Structures are given as C-alpha cells and as structure tokens.
Amino acid sequence: MTGLPAQAATCPVDTACPTTVTFDIAAGALEITVPDTADLANDGAPGGFAYGPLGAVTVDDNRASATPAWTVAVTSTDFVTAGGDDPGETIVNDSVYYCSGAATATTGDGTFTPGQTGCAAPPPPTGQTLDIERTAFAHAGGTGVNSATWNPLITIALALSNVAGQYTGTISHTVT
C-alpha cells in the first residue's frame, strides 16, 4: 500500500502555504594523482645534470568544505644504478631538485601557491633539494571544491664520480 504524502498545512485562499525543502550536498575526498613512472627527457654526463618534467601532478579536493585548505609535500629517495653498492652508483637525494612552477590548470576559488617558482633548465639547478620534505603546492581560502595541476621540473646534479648506467629512485607526493 502506498501512503499519501504528508501535508504540511492547509491554507485558505490567497494565503502562501509553505513547504520546507531539504537536500544534501555529498562530500567527496581529497586525492592526489601522480605519474606512475617518469623518464627524464635530458640525460647527463658526470659533472652535469639530468633533468626534465616529471609529468602532471593533480590534486582534486572534492570535500565541499567551507575552508578547503590543503598542502602537498614532496620527498625523494636516493637514485641508484647497478645495486648502488659502490659509491659511484648512488646519487644522494640532496642532489635531486624539485621545482613545481605555476599551476598548468586550476578549478574553484581560493589561492593556489606553488612551492617553488623560477623553474628553468640547468645550469644552475632551480627549485629545492629533496633531502628533506618540501612543499610542492598548497591551496587556501575559497569554498567548495577545487583542483590544481602542475608539471614539476626535476633536476639531478651528477657528481664527477658517478658511473654510467640507468639510475632509479622514487619521488613521493603526499597531500594533507
């Protein structure tokens, strides 16, 4: 049996008869998307630099918050080749530079702030070394949902003592 809708009120003619209406806005998640892998576009020689774009990094803030602030932190491991057992087979993370640059795309309102600006091909390397956690990007202010995408420049300073080989390391982003 189907019931009839509840009646809010009975009103006489020419009188406004009110109905209270409600609905919800669903809150989503705060998420970050990064490339699975990256091969720097410019290889280097000992004493030089390897560098190139990491690929698009995107933060989607779908929390629908009245104060949608977030910060992305970035770190790096050392880069190694051939197992990294000999000193020349390791590039320590204080030789890995990260430069976020300006956002390539944003949605929503508020202030989007890059962690580093003035990104340019080396020499000299631009940005900040990743031997400690750095701010890659941040957002503050505004309301509702927002997103930002940037394509950071990664530069790795190569020592004269580094040996030939393909070096592998991990750059990690965390959004909070």
- The single residue listed with the structure tokens 């490339």 is 35
Instruction: Tell me how far the alpha carbon of residue 89 is from its chain's centroid.
Output: 29
Q: How far apart are CA 20 and CA 110, in angstroms?
A: 32
User: What is the distance between the terminal CA atoms of the chain, rounded to a whole angstrom?
Assistant: 50
Overall pTM > 0.95: no
**SS3 state of residue 76:** strand
Per-residue confidence in pLDDT tens, the chain, 176 aa = 565 556 657 899 999 999 889 989 889 999 999 999 999 999 999 999 999 999 999 999 999 999 999 999 999 999 999 988 998 999 999 999 999 999 999 999 999 999 999 999 999 999 999 999 999 999 999 999 999 999 999 999 999 999 999 999 999 999 99
At 3, list the tokens. 């019931």
